[in-house]
Structure 1
Amino acid sequence: MRTRPRRLAVMGFALLTALSTTASLPSAAADGPGRPENHPHGGGLSATIRYTEYGIPHIVAKDYADLGFGTGWAQAADQVCALADGFVTVRGERSRYFGPDAAPDGSLSSATKNVSSDLYFRGVREAGTVEKLLATPAPAGPGREVKETMRGFAAGYNAWLKQNEITDPACKGADWVRPVTPLDVATHGFALAVLGGQGRGVDGITSAQPPAAGAPARAGSPDKAEVAAGARKLFSAEDADMGSNAVAFSGAATANGRGLLLGNPHYPWQGGRRFWQSQQTIPGELNVSGGSLLGSSTISIGHNAHIAWSHTVATGVTLNLHQLTLDPADPTSYLVDGRPERMTKRTVTVAVKDGAPVTRTQWWTRYGPVVNGLGPSLPLPWTSTTAYALGDPNALNLRASDTALGFSKARSTDDVLNTLRRTQGLPWVNTIAADSAGHSLFTQSQVIPRITDDLAARCSTPLGKVTYPAAGVAVLDGSRGDCALGSDKDAVQPGIFGPSKMPVLKDAPYAENSNDSAWLANADRPLTGYERVFGTVGTQRSMRTRGGVEDVAAMARKGGLTVSDLQRQQFADRAPAGDLAAADVARACAALPGGTATGGDGKPVDVRQACDVIGKWDHSMKTSSRGALLFDRFWRKLTAAVPNDKLWKVPFSATDPVRTPNTLNTDAPGFATALADAVGELRSAGIGLDDPLGDHQFVVRGGERLPVHGGTESLGVWNKVETVWDAKAGGYTEVVHGSSYIQAVGWDGGRCPVARTLLTYSQSPNPNSPHYSDQTRLFSKGAWVTSRFCEKDILASPALKVVRVHD
């Protein structure tokens, strides 16, 4: 029964190999023009890579190891320095090469210094954490196909290093660019999995030390308001460096009854958490196109001939804390049901550049590592009576690539759901999908600790009674055995929720998420009944969620949608905050006595021109928009100074969650000051109040200014960009994070999907690469790449270059 498909697969691969002998080849990695290749690999790994416009590789291989090889080779060609930096991180060698006190880029943990990053990752390596996960049989551990792609990825990366000269000045000639192992690749995946758990607590894990003998217990209780605010800040979408929008439309809303998907992840523009675009093909077995997070051997967000999917960062809290009651005689022993248990010591030594090695002990418990804080916003002091252990179920999860591979093979949204039920590998994202049969899907299927509301009610400590309602962060009584997380029958590992507990919305006319909870994935079909740890119900939505729901609900009501409608939505650049508040600002501004307002420095500022400019602003963040920059600077200052509950006259109502709160409170203390300071700031920088946004929101690539459209989180712009303000340099001069790998996908009944994509920051950060800024120029103009998915389209590319890579 399996002979014919396999035979066709081999025939297809042979055909593509033959093609590689006649197409034009890139000079750096191929035979001379027009000459047949003669590279027998003697049983080694190999792949064929066809490059089309914008340096997008279409990787063809005969099996999963070869597919990983081609992926590792092609990623290294574009991103060798970022990849090498990540591998230095997961080997715990940053201090050795870059010094202990420098800060890593934050791609793989929240560590503030190299030394804390190294102590954590060296500890992971020495404890054999990832090796144990690799040895765990599926479904709890990764499957064979994924492990083969990891093996191939390492070999492909190494082969590129051996066969090519690095031209990127970020690491050219650097001694820290070294060959890697499959374990390095797997550990990189582990680091991504624990980003929201142990990765968030790296500083606290590596610096937590028991109090000195005889040290007094800390007196008093923490201030509840401060703790609640700290927990909310820790898990706030506005403070995060990752977010996303995505919407799936069912056939009920489309022109042809087939599904549509628009994915718009907001990720860092620099460093190791960038996306990289490719197509992966094993003829007869796999054919998928999309964006991969760097270091990943599978497609993270993408589409095939039948389905398209995207992810949004979810509100589910991926960690919990257990408050430990310590043995009065020994602060490194804790009590469980009255019996002492000794903590496990993990003593780690890391090499340091130009200095003595650093040795430090970490302390681990049955619940996880002891942690003395989760960043500055949530300190967790270790006293003579109390300590806190960090629980992270994703420290047992190396299954994300299995989930991605399952999506890549899926033919329907039901297949996507079945993949999630089988693999349970997504640590911190929701999934939104659409298929060619007209189905839509939203699901918050993620690996989070099994904190039921009942468990939190029974077992929360006084601290947990504050943090759990405020932010979903459970702090449980670690001295009670009945406060363990327990198990669901359908969960692949203990201590997590099974698939039957996940919020799911199927076949709604639209299913949308912009990093709020699952509640309003469709405002007409709200999702309820899930535990608080997944997110909230009946609470105020972000400005971006409100604007997104307004937009996509209107699109669905209109119906007849096509991929072109998705493209218009992506770059409409509407600022919902402007629609809600700009008219009120203009009126209040015009009513100021004498047309002046007092700035924060106590000096009066003439704001009469600002009133007119804001009144005429088109409420968009297009590069041509006049008044956008003024309102943006004013709005940032206002929302920083005025609490949300004082900002609006009409408060939030759960019965009207999209339209409330509304009506700006222009009488709020700080309104006039914010206006005066914004006007004064722009004038001092020599920026006209009505200058086009693109004159002062830009990136510089190759010495050229490229205007950037889009806006910040607080304005609610779908096309989100978070930028760096530098008044001396002329405004917003770089994008820190925001729209990244964008895809608008549909089907027209033919064999090929209708797909438009864009990688906003381009394929390579190497300024010497031809693909350093080509897609960034497209983004600046609001243009797209027409996806070349089917063979006829790939072979018709005027930029086609084919290369056969081997080890």
Structure 2
Amino acid sequence: MNLIPEPRLRGRAAPLAVLLLLTACDGGNAASVVPAPSLPAVKLAETGGFSATIRRTSHGIPHVLAGDYASLGYGYGYAFAQDNLCELAEVVVTVSAERSRYFGSDAAYPATLGGTINNLKSDFFYQSINDAGTVEALVAQQPPRGPSEEMRELVRGYTAGFNRYLRETGVDGLPDPRCRGAAWVRPLTEKDLYRRYYQLGLLASSTAFLANIADAQPPGPLPDGALPVPVTLPDVLPAGTIPTPKDLGLGSNAIGLGREGTRNGRGMVLGNPHFPWQGSERFYQVHLTLPGQLDVSGASLLGVPVVLIGHNAHLAWSHTVSTGFRFTPYELKLVPGSPTSYVYDGQIQQMTPRPTTVLARKADGTLEPRSHTFYWTRFGPMFEFPDGYMTWNQLTGYAFRDVNATNFRILDQYLAMNRASSVDELRQAQDYWQGIPWVNTVAADDQGRAFYADSAIVPHVTDEKVARCVVSPVALLVYQSAHLPVLDGTRSDCEWGSDADAVLPGMFGPGRMPHLVRADYVENSNDSYWLSNPAQPLTGYDRIIGDENTARSLRTRLGLKLVQGRLAGTDGLEGQRFTLEQLQTVMFNNRNHSGELLRDSAVALCKRNPFIVAEDGRLVDVRAACPVLEKWNLRGDLDSAGGLLWRLFMIRLVPVTGGPYLVPFLPTDPVNTPRGLNTLHPQVVQALGGAVQVMRDRGLPLDVALGTVQHVPRNEARIPYHGCYDAEGCFNQMGGLLLPDYTYRPSLGTSFVMAVSFTDAGPVGRSLLAYSQSSNPASPYFADQTWMFSRKQWVDMRFTEADIASDPELSVTMLQE
């Protein structure tokens, strides 16, 4: 099957100033890229015409059938609006820079990567993008830089389908009480969706530092006779001061099994993204069919008209957030007395002020204009991060350069992946479009080949360039702390480089990025590419992409052990190699790897030290904790008594100076080291006392079961959930918010789960959308799969026509416009 559409000119010109800006950021002309195969003619809709059939099966999963791309998008947009209109409408308010107008300038909304974002700062950020016409300029480009004709048709149809549903119900008749009658709900435009896709591309870069960009302002003048004071730096930055990509919050697990890893000798995939349970990055499950062109089932993020994680008849894939940086700061030498002037190659350059204005609602309901000015350099906007280190003062300043700022290839990247019929075609699609913004890919095909690639976009900063261009005390300190290159902004030879096979200058080409094809397995749980399969470590890549020969997380190590134990037949399940049912069992076995490694030593510590001085100086009687930990089942199940006590202990071990382990990490044994609890370390002893004391302070029994303290509110119900924190080393990661009643509610964690096995008769898939298909509390699909998640149950991914027709809850909607 051919995957790549031939470029088509749209006949629309981008704003000249924006195209000049994009060219300047590229650092030169476009490099040569992987040639695109020719594509047979595809059917596009007649202008304005849409016709789609939506067949919903159990749990509200829509199977959209259409005869052209626009109609396929039309059916998808309509079905999505039925379930989650309010969520996407609020996203549109955000990217339209209207949150202050409707929700107030002092309010905030949840950030995807943790914390909150102030409405006014958010509006300034997005309005500056809109003022510049950035998205319009990117969309106007021809493929592969801009969207293909097929993608434009999908977006056109999705917009029309969403709007048809809104037109039929009316804002005042919406079934979701959260936005019924709201002034901020309006029909979509295609521009709204394109702005949404641009937002998604910046998720692990600019939007993660939105407030730091919005807060950057020139320093005021010095008093007469005063001299600039250099920043005082410590010898080492505290851990976490500079967040690494893994610290940004999002995570995932994925396993790809080849012919030597499965019972039937064909491929198998487990996908387990750990994404937010609330807000704009929820998944939505769908099956899209355009006969002869596309037949794909899986899940998308809100508003995206293609499948991001899923399978077709021959290929299944998932993603995990990768470790590469998507940005680099540039350190600028400022002109004395002129903090908006900087030196570049011996010449003085002026920053460009970009004023922007938004409307904000006052307490009396009236609107007032609020203004802000961003300052742009040749690299990008000024920013300040972290507080006290990369600051804008009279001597230096820092600019933020984002490699995804010119990436609008993400949509066609996934359309090509949706159509790929093998691991080879998947890699071909990624090498051509180069649009993956911030994730690894794990896949397997029906021929029994497993595939791993970190094909995400990374700034072209080689280790050699780091050695030449990370030179100042601040830059060296930041690089030592997080391996984030803060490059010298005074020299053109410190600009990002280029590869001949890269679709744009400034990024690594596919030939410089890690990939692996295996007959047994590949696995990733958000560590770098290095140990995707311990039998074939990937090495020799530039450090900005990821680390090598370093300790893996407990979750990564458990993921590898889960696969290795099944292939060897030592995990207590029947036989060797995987069946689909065994892959499902492994997903939710809730093994707690930290407990497996350290619990017995912790019990011995407890028995030797009946009274412990905790971190706060209080003397704690821990004798009652010893039998609780000894009887704990080493899992994160609903009935795991002692699991919470262990969690509180492990959280306190994370910052232990020098680490809590007896046996250090050994590159020759990366799956099994580090291990052993250093029970003589005073912080380890204090951690046990602190864990016991905090539970007593909360009034919780030491042996409280996880299902008692972990719950999901769904209308009047409190649904218990299993899983545990990342620090504990659980594959089924469920990060929770601590509530005032000392219970937990899920925030980031297991979201869309997919297990797919290829058989002689085609793919067989099981899935689960842990927070359910609809965010509308009045929907029948608001809590049904959440209850299933609590019970470790799965949903059949009905793929064939016979599967769909046989569903006992099948309903059919035919749309024509």
TM > 0.5 fold call: yes
Alignment of 1:478-627 (within 5 A): 478-558=489-569, 559-592=576-609, 595-627=610-642
State how far apart, in whole Å, the 2-side matches of 1:51 and 1:474 are: 49
| Structure 1 position 228, deviation (Å) | 6.8
Once the two structures are TM-superposed, the CA of residue 413 in structure 1 deviates from its matched residue by 0.6
Which amino acid letter does the alignment assign opposite residue 449 of structure 2?
H
> Residue type of the partner of 2:579?
T
Q: Which residue of 2 aligns with 1:67?
A: 72
Structure 1 residues 224 and 538: CA distance shift in structure 2, 3 A: farther
Is the 8 Å Cα contact of residues 272 and 751 (structure 2) preserved in structure 1? yes
In structure 2, the residue matched to 1:277 is: 285
CA distance in 1, matches of 2:677, 2:115: 36
For residue 251 of structure 1, give the secondary structure of its aligned residue in structure 2.
coil
Q: Does 1:715 align with 2:724?
A: no
2:514 touches 2:541 (CA, 8 Å); kept in 1?
Answer: yes
Q: 1:468 to 1:682 in 2, by over 3 A?
A: closer
Distance 1:226 1:153, change over 3 A: farther
Which of 257, 262, 267 is residue 254 of structure 1 equivalent to? 262
| Aligned-pair CA distance for 1:340 | 1.6
User: Following TM superposition, by how much is the alpha carbon of 1:656 offset from its aligned partner in structure 2, in angstroms?
Assistant: 1.5
Q: CA deviation at 1:551?
A: 1.4
Residue 204 in structure 1 maps to residue 212 in structure 2: yes
Superposition pairs for residues 566-715 of structure 1, below 5 Å? Answer: 566-592=583-609, 595-640=610-655, 642-643=656-657, 645-715=658-728
Q: How far 1:356 sits from its partner (Å)?
A: 2.8
Whether the aligned pair in 2 keeps the contact of 1:317 and 1:472 (CA below 8 Å) is: no
**Offset at 1:531?**
0.3
Which of residues 172, 185, 204 in structure 2 aligns to 1:177? 185
- In structure 2, what is the Cα distance between the partners aligned to 1:507 and 1:405? 25
Q: How does 1:56-455 map to 2 (within 5 A)?
A: 56-107=61-112, 112-164=117-169, 165-214=173-222, 218-227=228-237, 229-230=239-240, 232=242, 234-235=243-244, 237=246, 239-328=247-336, 330-354=338-362, 356-373=368-385, 376=387, 379-455=389-465
Q: Post-superposition shift, 1:681? A: 3.2
Give me the whole-angstrom Cα distance separating, in 2, the residues matched to 1:266 and 1:403: 22
1:739 aligns with 2:750: yes
Deviation of 1:218 after TM superposition, in Å, equals: 4.7
- The SS at the match of 1:369 is coil
Structure 1 residue 420: Cα displacement: 0.4
Q: How far apart are the structure 2 equivalents of 1:606 and 1:381?
A: 47
Q: Structure 1 residues 281, 199: CA separation in 2 closer, same or farther (over 3 Å shift)?
A: same
- Mapped to 2, the partners of 1:602 and 1:328 lie a distance apart of 50
Work out the CA distance in 2 between the residues paired with 1:444 and 1:112: 29
> 1:72, 1:105 → 2: CA distance?
25
Q: Could you tell me how far apart the structure 1 residues matched to 2:703 and 2:770 are?
A: 27
Are the counterparts in 2 of residues 109 and 202 from structure 1 also a CA contact under 8 Å?
no
In 2, are the aligned partners of 1:322 and 1:389 still within 8 Å (CA)?
yes
CA deviations 1:148-175 (Å, max 9, x no partner) are 2112222222111111231222212110
Aligned partner letter, 1:131: E
Q: Distance in 2 between matches of 1:191 and 1:598?
A: 48
8 A contact 2:441–2:454 mirrored in 1: yes
> Match of 1:509, as an amino acid?
D
Residue 110 of structure 1, CA deviation: 7.7
Corresponding letter in the other structure for 2:370:
V
Aligned pair partner of 2:799 in 767, 789, 795: 789
Distance 1:600 1:438 in 2: 53
Q: CA deviation at 1:227?
A: 4.2
Tell me how many residue pairs correspond in the alignment: 759
Shift of 1:333: 2.1
- Give the 3 Å change call, closer, same or farther, for CA 443–267 of structure 1 in structure 2: same
- Residue 309 of structure 1 aligns to which amino acid in structure 2? W
Distance change >3 Å, CA 249–CA 224, structure 1 → 2: farther
Per-residue deviation, residues 245-288 of structure 1 (Å, max 9, x unmatched): 00101101111110110010000001110000000111111000
- State the shift of 1:363 in Å: 1.0
- Output the amino acid matched with 1:538: N
1:552 Cα deviation (Å)?
1.4
Alpha-carbon separation, structure 1, partners of 2:251 and 2:795: 23
Shifted more, 336-345 versus 709-718: the winner is 336-345
Maintained 8 Å contact 1:111/1:202:
no
SS in 2 for 1:315: coil
1:749 alignment partner, one of 728, 753, 760: 760
Residue 763 of structure 1 corresponds to 773
Taking the aligned partners of 2:399 and 2:436, their CA distance within structure 1 comes to 23
- Summarize the Cα distance change of 1:331–1:725 in structure 2 as closer, same or farther, 3 Å threshold: closer
1:603, 1:747 → 2: CA distance? Answer: 58
- Deviation, 1:109, is 10
Give deviations 1:731-773, integer Å, cap 9, x for gaps: 22x10110011100011110x3111100000011211000001
CA distance in 2 between partners of 1:300 and 1:806 (Å): 27
Change (3 A) 1:711 1:256: same
Asked if structure 2 preserves the Cα contact closer than 8 Å seen for 1:109 and 1:117, the reply is no
Please, what TM-score do these two structures have when normalized by structure 1? Answer: 0.91
| Counterpart secondary structure, 1:789 | coil
Q: Is the 8 A contact 2:236 2:477 kept in 1?
A: no
With over 3 angstroms needed to count, the CA separation of the structure-2 counterparts of 1:689 and 1:499, relative to structure 1, is same
> What residue identity is the alignment partner of 1:743?
M
1:231 is displaced (CA, Å) by 5.2
Post-superposition CA distance 1:68-120 (Å, at most 9, x none): 11111111111111111100000000011111121122249987311111011
Q: Report how far residue 425 of structure 1 moved.
A: 0.4
Question: 89-98 or 559-568: which moved more?
Answer: 559-568
Unaligned runs of 5+ in 1: 3-39
Deviation at 1:544, TM superposition (A): 0.8
In 1, are the aligned partners of 2:62 and 2:287 still within 8 Å (CA)? yes
Task: State the SS of the aligned residue for 2:594.
Answer: helix
- Report the CA distance between 1:458 and its aligned residue: 1.0
Does the 8 A contact of 2:448 with 2:519 survive in 1? no
**Where do residues 772-787 of structure 1 align in structure 2 (5 Å cutoff)?**
772-787=782-797
Matched-pair contact (CA < 8 Å) for 2:113–2:248: no
Which region of structure 1 is more displaced relative to structure 2, 464-473 or 344-353?
464-473
Aligned AA for 1:490?
D
Equivalent residue letter for 1:774 = D
Partner amino acid, structure 2, of 1:788 = R
Instruction: Assess, with a 3 A threshold, how the Cα gap between structure 1 residues 341 and 221 changes in structure 2: closer, same or farther.
Output: same
CA RMSD, aligned part only?
2.1
Structure 1 residue 481: Cα displacement = 1.2
Q: Is the CA contact 1:109–1:199 (under 8 Å) kept in the aligned structure 2?
A: no
SS in 2 for 1:71: helix
CA offset digits 1:418-476 (Å, max 9, x no partner): 00001000111000000001011000001111010011111113233233354231111
Listed one character per residue, the Cα deviations across residues 601-650 of structure 1 (whole Å, up to 9, x for unaligned) are: 5443332221011112121111122221221222223335x23x231121
Greater mean deviation of Cα atoms: 550-559 or 776-785: 550-559
